[in-house]
Structure 1
Amino acid sequence: GLLDNMAPEKRIKAEVEEETGYQIDQVEKVFEAFMSPGSVTEKLYFYIAEYHAGDRTGAGGGIEAEGEDIEVLEWPIEQALRAVDDGIIVDGKTIMLLYHVALKKIV
């Protein structure tokens, strides 16, 4: 989501709750990146966080009024990486974070 005058750490916590239905307390910033330097000045902030079943506050899925229709999937890292290889996951931001987790052996 857009920062909307919020600190990135605060915005990511709000986005996680809206989109996944989980409330998280601790986030770890892993990197910042420009997706298209030279043509777009938008900087993206990438975070990871742990969650537990008891952290669920809602169904997730995003905000319908904003046109969001997000399907929440919980896959083992191996399955997610296969989905990248198979062309199922094609979002660059998601791919970057999945490979970060895989390389750091965070799972």
Structure 2
Amino acid sequence: TTSVNFYQLCSAAVDAKPNRKTVITDTANFPTDRYILEGICKQRGLKLVVINDDAGEEYVSPEALSAVLNDDVALVSLSVIQYRSGVLHDVAKLTQLARDAGALFV
């Protein structure tokens, strides 16, 4: 299923960055994805940072992501399109910010 694949992908991503102990997502991410990320973090003793979406618009700006990125972040997981509002993230820019910080983006 999609959830099993997401779990396996995110698990592999955090395992690929064993010295990094933080995962980032946002409040408007699909609930199942958030639950899976919470489980992975709990299972591995990682910190989960949840970005409050800008002004309730269910949008994570590059500035909001930059504010929480650091050299401890293993994984950033955001939806390309928000499932409730249809907002489209600037995935190219957000992915580049994560990469520049040494994190993976799912």
What is the TM-score of this pair, normalised by structure 1? 0.27
Highest RCO, 1 vs 2 (Cα 8 Å, sep ≥ 6): 2
Larger gyration radius, structure 1 or structure 2 = 1
Greater fraction helix: 2
